[in-house]
Amino acid sequence: MDTHTQKFKIRLGLFVAGGLALFVIAVFIIGKQKNLFNPVFKITSTFHNVGGLQIGNNVRFSGINVGTVDNIIIINDSTVRTDLIIKEEVRQFIKSDCKVAIGSEGVIGDKLITISQGSAEAPLIKAGQQLKSSEPVETDAIMAGLRVTVGNAEVITQQLAEIMTKINSGKGTLGRLIQDKTLAENLNKTVLNLKKSSKSLDENMTAAKHNFFLKGYFNKKAKKEAQKKEDARKAAEEKAKK
């Protein structure tokens, strides 16, 4: 056997060995992701719309990947069933009243299934059991709501700009008040006159209280007020004693 043939066989053997090694590694990685080498159990849930969920997407519980989506089946025109494969080791933490929801990894990441925590008194989940689901919020619906909000904000901003333009140009009552100095001065004078009138009224009332003819009236009024306060105080004391 010549040297060339031996080198060819060695290269062929190395190529085959490398291919087998890559195959084994790939099978191990895929099997680990699909939980092929771990004890698992299956549960189901139904949705009206899975929102782009695909077979093989992750299932999370308390933020940890605990399984994968095994199958997605359309039951009828309003129901889609999802079969989930869950690691057997986490069965002890999943209760029968847990809820299933569809989320995503980040803003634009892949879809995934999340299982919420159940109540402490609920029994543990059984293999094949169906969990209640929460319908996902569609991205299109969120974007439509944002578009409406942005449109409303644009209208409000435009209206505020128009109001400020009118005020700056002296239109309207507020605009005339800000721009017209005469009107502002008249308003200040009116306020001063009201203050003076109020002060004069207080002085007149003080003088009336000291007037000989009206003094008796104010004294009687003061006595009535004092008597009311005394009666209220006695009533409160009697109520407290009871």
pLDDT along the chain (242 residues), means of 10: 66 75 66 63 90 88 90 91 92 90 78 89 89 74 72 81 70 61 69 73 61 60 77 78 68
Size (the chain), residues:
242
Q: What pLDDT is stored for residue 170 in this prediction? A: 62
Q: What pLDDT is stored for residue 236 in this prediction? A: 78
The 10 Å CB-count burial string (b at 16+, else e) for 61-79 is beeeebbbbbeeeeeeeee
DSSP of 177-212 = HHH-HHHHHHHHHHHHHHHHHHHHHHHHHHHHHT-H
Q: What pLDDT is stored for residue 210 in this prediction? A: 61
Q: What pLDDT is stored for residue 178 in this prediction? A: 59
As given in the structure block, the two tokens for residue 150 are 């942005």
CB-based contacts of 78: which residues, under 8 Å, 6+ apart? 48
Q: What pLDDT is stored for residue 84 in this prediction? A: 92
Interatomic CA distance for residues 192 and 117, integer angstroms: 68
Q: What pLDDT is stored for residue 218 in this prediction? A: 59
Q: What pLDDT is stored for residue 24 in this prediction? A: 67
pTM (2 decimals)?
A: 0.47
Q: What pLDDT is stored for residue 74 in this prediction? A: 92
